Amino acid sequence: MAFIKPFRAVRPRQELAGKVASLPYDVMSVAEARVMAEGNPYSFLHITRPEIDLPLGTDSHDDPVYEKGRENLQAFIRDGVLVQEDEECYYVYRQRMGELIQTGLVTCTSVDDYQTGVIKKHELTRADKEEDRVRHIDALDANDEPVFYTYRHNPELSSLIATLTQGVPEYDFTTDDGVEHQLWVVRGREEIGRLTSLFGAIVPLYVADGHHRSAAASRVRELRRAANAAHGGDEEYNTFLTVIFPDDEMTIMPYNRVVNDLNGLSSQEFLAGLGESFLVTPWEGRFQPRERHTFGMYLQGVWSRLTPEAESFDENDSVAKLDVSILQNNLLRPLLGIDDPRTDQRIQFVGGIRGMGELERLVDSGSYAVAFALFPTSLGELMALSDEDKIMPPKSTWFEPKLRSGLFVHLLK
């Protein structure tokens, strides 16, 4: 069974919610974060990206950055920007992006469930990013950003959540990107009990976005347990902040790739090598994949359609048949020399929300030699692979809309 629990959220005063809410820390550069928070002392980026309040050039992993994050969180609480709930509650969080609507439950989830596999993972973490989140959470003494989970939808649970959203929301605002955000507070003991019971019957939960935050929460719990001679298992640090959405409301966008260079090959040599595993078809205008096993490539100002040869991958292997795997195994590794995309600095990843024009801009700027547009991985593929306890290649999924940070914080004490 999946264990969830209500908690006493630290959250913005109602009139400040729209000013506090910010995009997650990892979807922007430090320079972009500075611009986003400019002129807004309430932006939660002062907590998730505290280096923006330190001198230019400050290393994001220096001790003063984590100390500044703790200082800023404490200041937000002290000054009444964020206020802690009087009682343990659940929260229902709805996002609307055009015709897309997703409604999830804000909860605390069990570290034990993460460690024992009740919560299914599909990606490996990078040691440096995981360590950064451990230091950040430990310094703040709080989960300041939620992990994004999903589950196979349950009609009874969907009906209950629909009922809970019939009243006036606590928060209701629209961010600059046009996404509407609403939040309802669930205080009733009966409703809280029903939600806990219904989720308790759902196994498994799946990590959609937030593998590093999940892993970091687990490590922080172990640090706290080792330091607490009176550890009993019910301390707040045994759980971490999550928002859990049903699978039938989730949207995955492509996670595209750009590469700095052609690995010493001329464009003619690169195209010749490409022809060994792909059918390359020059394309008039942009080629955006509309089906599995097709790729767009932007090279020297021209788009091409890439279609992999049938024998170049195994359609019966849940990992090998993923488009991200096909691209990695037949092009990025053998031709461009990118053996480990998790650590290779020559490859960068571009979320599909940025559009095809961003791929053209990056290549046309001269900073990158080639771009690849992918068809999005499906949620069904993610769940099937996770059920087999297998691992996807890095950066296989890009979920939209992104959860906003700052609307709820979970204190570890």
Query: How confident is the prediction along the chain (413 residues), in pLDDT tens digits per residue?
Result: 799 999 999 999 999 999 999 999 998 899 999 999 999 999 999 999 999 999 999 999 999 999 999 999 999 999 999 999 999 999 999 999 999 999 999 999 999 999 999 999 998 888 899 999 999 999 999 999 999 999 999 999 999 999 999 999 999 999 999 999 999 999 999 999 999 999 999 989 999 999 999 999 999 999 999 999 999 999 999 999 999 999 999 999 999 999 999 999 999 999 999 999 999 999 999 999 999 999 999 999 999 999 999 999 999 999 999 999 999 999 999 999 999 998 899 999 999 999 999 999 999 999 999 999 999 999 999 999 999 999 998 889 999 999 999 999 999 99
The residues spanned by each domain of the chain are 4-13+84-251+400-411, 255-375
Please give the Cα distance from 67 to 83 (Å, whole number).
Answer: 21
Assigned token pair, 151: 């589950």
Note the pLDDT of residue 203: 87
**What is the topology classification, in CATH, of domain 255-375?**
3.30.1760
* Neighbouring C-beta atoms of residue 253, cutoff 10 Å: 17
Q: How far apart are CA 405 and CA 236, in angstroms?
A: 20
Give the span between the Cα atoms of 282 and 261, in whole angstroms: 20
Distance between CA atoms of residues 76 and 411, nearest Å: 13
- CA 64, CA 70: separation in Å to the nearest integer? 10
Q: Is 316 exposed, middle or buried (0-12, 13-18, 19+ CB in 10 A)?
A: exposed
What are the E-state strand segments in 34-129? Answer: 82-84, 90-97, 100-110, 119-120
- pLDDT tens, residue by residue, 318-328: 999 999 999 99
CB 50 within 8 A of CB 136: no
User: Of 251, 302, 287, nearest to 102 (Cα)?
Assistant: 251
CB atoms under 10 Å from CB of 364, counted, come to: 14
User: Would you state the pLDDT for residue 277?
Assistant: 96
Looking at residue 408, its pLDDT comes to 98
